[in-house]
Amino acid sequence: MPYKFSPSSLSLLDDCPRCFWLQFNKGIKRPSGIFPSLPSGMDKILKEHFDSFRDKGELPPELKHLAGEIKLFENAELLKDWRNNFKGICWQDKEGNLVHGAVDNILQKGKKLVVLDYKTRGFPLKEDTHEHYQDQLDIYNFLLRKNGYETEDYAYLLFYHPTKVTEKGEVIFHTDLIKINISTKNAEKIFEKALKILKEKMPAATENCEYCKWIQVCPTL
């Protein structure tokens, strides 16, 4: 049976192999919690913000210091597909297993592409904040290269966090642009590990998986 993966579903593999196995082999997903609407709203207006500058052939203020080095991806129709959660950037192996990802934005440096991903958070960055998104960026670059596009060996994370509210009620956001090296080999390893686990017997849960702990506690209640 072929599988369909995304960066978010593959992140579950690292979180808990058992939950990952149950989701893909038995259709048993973790209970979904309440998802805040603010990140989705921010994502939408940020894309519109960047697109308005692309249409003018300019870089937005957040990227001004990169002027002369990069530009925003010019193919608006293709980017629209790559952003679409139902289309995105896809690659399928010989067995029919599919990897799919939807990007926020793409930059161009000469003939090479650079992934740009927006992140909204409530607090300033910690030293290791960007590391939590390494796999996601590696998978995006893996997909682009599998589709015949050249990419740089790095990507950008653009973080937004609120700093104050003006007298007019406008929320001011601080931005941090983080350059992170990418590894498509890491993405390949994640994909291979996912298939290996799914083809074997149900694995053990990680010690800190609260969902698996709950199942163990239920019989004793």
**Contacts (Cβ under 8 Å, ≥6 apart) of 138:** 182, 183, 184, 186, 187, 190
Residue 6, pLDDT score: 97
Residue 219, pLDDT score: 58
Which 3-state string (H, E, C) describes 44-112? HHHHHHHHHHHHCCCCCHHHHHHECCEEECCCHHHHHHHHCCCCCEEEECCCCCEEEECCCEEEEECCE
DSSP state of 34: P
What is the full per-residue pLDDT of the chain (221 aa) written as tens digits? Answer: 899 999 999 999 999 999 999 999 999 999 887 777 878 889 999 999 999 999 999 999 999 999 999 999 999 999 999 999 999 999 999 999 999 999 999 999 999 999 999 999 999 999 999 999 999 999 999 999 999 999 999 999 999 999 999 999 999 999 999 999 999 999 999 999 999 999 999 999 898 898 998 877 765 54
Q: What are phi and psi for residue 3, nearest 5 degrees?
A: -115, 155
Q: 115 - beta bridge partners? A: 106
Q: For 34-40, which contacts have Cβ atoms below 8 Å and span 24 or more sequence positions?
A: 38/120, 39/120
Question: What is the Cα–Cα distance from 65 to 67, expressed in whole angstroms?
Answer: 6
Please say whether the beta carbons of 11 and 136 come within 8 A.
Answer: yes
pTM of the complete model:
0.94
Question: What is the Cα–Cα distance from 119 to 41, expressed in whole angstroms?
Answer: 12
